[in-house]
Amino acid sequence: MYPEYMVAPIREDLTSAGFEQLMTPEEVEQAVKTEGTVLLAVNSVCGCAASKARPALKMAVAAADKKPVKLVTVFAGMEQDAVAKAREHMLPYPPSSPSIALFKDGELVHMIERYHIEGNELHRIVDNLKGAFDAYC
């Protein structure tokens, strides 16, 4: 686990953009089971989260005509039980952080894994998310 003072500004990067920080497995379960679409981001301290995942999330949500009903995030390396619960809902995809999942009516419908983030250009991640929003929201 990281010291909270270190992750606080990283959490705020998404919470200031409208994402709800989930701290417990119960909060994750309730959020994922929301009717409609839920965008869940597994946040991280790594460089690709800072340079690509978080900016892409914020840009896609800001620019999309269709948007998820709920925006939520968990933080890898911190609230381990909440992250584990989120990853249960992301199966069969292996755990990765950062990662981004879109749920519709409690079912996983779109997944962006770390390798889609770190080896990709920012605009492609944004376009990927906007395409998923158009398809499912």
pLDDT digits (tens, 9 = 90+) for 84-127: 999 999 999 999 999 999 999 999 999 999 999 998 999 999 99
* pTM of structure: 0.95
137 is catalytic: no
Among residues 10, 28, 48, 74, the one annotated as catalytic is 48
pLDDT at 79 over 90: yes
CATH (domain of 84): 3.40.30.10
Query: Rounded to an integer, what distance in angstroms lies between the CA atom of residue 23 and that of residue 132?
Result: 26
pLDDT of residue 13: 96
pLDDT of residue 52: 96
pLDDT of residue 131: 97
What Cα–Cα distance (Å) separates residue 48 from each residue in 27, 54, 56, 101?
26, 9, 11, 16
pLDDT digits (tens, 9 = 90+) for 21-47: 999 999 999 999 999 999 999 999 988
Q: Which domain holds residue 91?
A: 4-136
Counting the structural domains of the chain, the total is: 1
pLDDT of residue 119: 86
pLDDT at 2 over 90: no
- As a whole number, mean pLDDT of residues 49-59 equals 96
pLDDT of residue 126: 97
Among residues 45, 46, 111, 137, the one annotated as catalytic is 46
